[in-house]
Structure 1
Amino acid sequence: MVWFRPVGFTGRRPSFQKQAMLRRAASDEFETYHDLYSVASSVSRVGDRFEATVIGRRAAGLFLFDRQVVGVVHQREGSRARRDGLEHLNLQVLRSGRMLAGAPGNERLLAAGDVVLFDTTLPQRTVLHDADFVTVALSREVVEAVVPNLRSLHGAVLSRKACPGLGVAVLSLARGASGSADAPLGGSALIAGLIADGMDRSGRYVTDRDRDEEEIQAARRLRASLFIDAHLGRHDLDVGLVATGSGVSRSALYRAFDPVGGVKGEIVRRRVARLRSAILRGDRLTPIATLAWNLGFSSASHGSRTFMAAYGVPPAQFRDAMLRPEDSAVGDLKAEHMRGWVEVLNAKSSRV
């Protein structure tokens, strides 16, 4: 079910004008997710498993969607892009997991911290095998004020190393790290400025690695990440075990994961994403400490600190805010509500 939440549902985020939540969509509720995103893209399933949780926030000049999604393809076809009149910019930032994104036929596997830029006037495709990520939708007017050649950036994937501040800024907004009323008002201008900062004088992004080498490293990360995902509950999960299990040498693993925060960082990111997913499944009876231990955290406090660092709120408080009966819906978020938000973002009068 999808819920409207009052402003600042954790008591720490008063600056966003409106928040909404798709608590959890299970396999038999795929149509709920499909209808929600039909305003801008065609949505289909991939693989045998589907799961989705969405927390959305609306503020002046931007929308932010914090999502964990398994088994979904989003595709925006050229015919749709030509006829529906949308023209805003989408940024997708991967926290952890497996996600491919780009122009159709040129999708790339993202690493943790990577950012992909999409111009909604052009076709795009995103494949979410098992991804914990954040999408920010920005007014075209705001971005073009500092990046006039916006269309040329469509489908560009910016690594954390090549453009370090951009992904950090988006994830910080998602965590609600700033309770200031200036956060949503200045957020879109900040992100637009960071996009411009990553460009050279010719208006192109400077790549920090050869494409062939990048693809080799991406393949190694994928092999290792699949092993990590399958063994998160092991308390002896470390670089040595991942190297042995994935068939990639320690030295190669260190090189592959160095741009994205290391192998240990990837293990932690996947554990905390799985912890949030477990909480959002609505299990009220299992203690947070048990959930954290079962996912390989050394202690409840370790799990709580890591969760707080990733999502801006302790896991117990997060579960309480998400599951309390007294915080039930103010109203269901339906496709027409999403359409209204998008129309506001694309209005010529949009100002930040």
Structure 2
Amino acid sequence: MTLVQKQPDITYHPDFEKYQLRTERLKAQRNSNIGLPTAFPSKLSGPLVWEGSDFGEKTPWDFTLSKPQLEEIDSALAKFKELNKPIGFVSKETFPLPNLSHDLRKQAQVLANGRGFFVLRGLDVDRYSREDNIIIYAGVSSYIGSVRGRQDSKKIDGERKSSMLNHIKDLSQTSVAGNIGAPAYTTDKQVFHTDAGDIVSLFCLNTAVQGGASKLASSWRVYNELAKTRPDLIRTLSEDWAFDGYGNVEKPYTTRPLLHHTPAHGNVPEHVIIQYARRGFTGFLHLPRSKDIPPITEAQAEALDALHFLAEKFSLTLDFQKGDIQYVNNLSLFHARDGFVDAPGQERHLIRLWLRDPELAWETPEPLKERWDELYGDVTAEEQVFPIEPRIRGGAGRT
């Protein structure tokens, strides 16, 4: 008799009690002699390894724009609008910031080689139209990552059109509510995860009445804890997982590891990269995990919970204010947000860019190259679309 493997009892919202019970249940099956995969580091070091408690009351990540810098941004906005070109043509050349650019490039170094994040503060979003805010966002961000990533892409009349901007906003009270398959479009909490790409950026157009706190955690600190206490989970994370294709007939699912190790070679330093989003393995709301693809294993379920609860333990909560732009190294940090409450006229609304800085970019692991090419490969100014109003992007909702 052949036993059919079933999906473990795991949901999008981590349950600490279930996690503990699963860990205890699997303990008897675990080989205590299993060590780290070959050549994987026993401990990572450097400024990317941190805990929220390390910072105390200090906020070294805040970069507040001065009056001259804000005036320079206004000047760049005016110069770009004089060109009468679509937003896809925003670049360092068309949005000139001759002085601020030096400070922004220093912050880009912090992303790649420092703590891995910073917050740009001081923009008054109410002074600008929605379109102008997006132009400013794209223009300033071009100095952090000159290549923008596709967040959705399709062909219209034979021409590729790619959405480079995504709105993070509650749509659960709108006509598309029945299609939502990602917490980004609800008031629900988002558990720790990564997005796709090198750098994830969020621009706060408005905050909620209550809640919605933004949280970050060092995935390198999480790695160190697992390497020390549960090397078997490092091995589990470094093996292939089945990623849901969400109804893709040609590719019902793809496989790759969640954890990638790049040994030091030449001028390339050693890196460990964890790329994952929990909902892809558990489903969320109206987009459940497909039933006709391999379920995750009990060990993988334990690993997912371990990532979340360790990230939560070592996390930092940011004071994310209206007008702030948050830039995060998506290769070394996890991010999350608390649930929130909106009210008419005060609805939490973020917009997001995925960026890549060719000058400082980390080497992309082989299993991620196909996905990275989908994001960043041969992006043209003409194909870029920047939606003014929120909509559910592909892969984040039922179609």
**Of the two, which has the highest radius of gyration?**
2
Q: Which has the higher helix share?
A: 1
Give the TM-score of the pair, scaled to structure 2. 0.25
TM-score, normalised via structure 1 length: 0.27
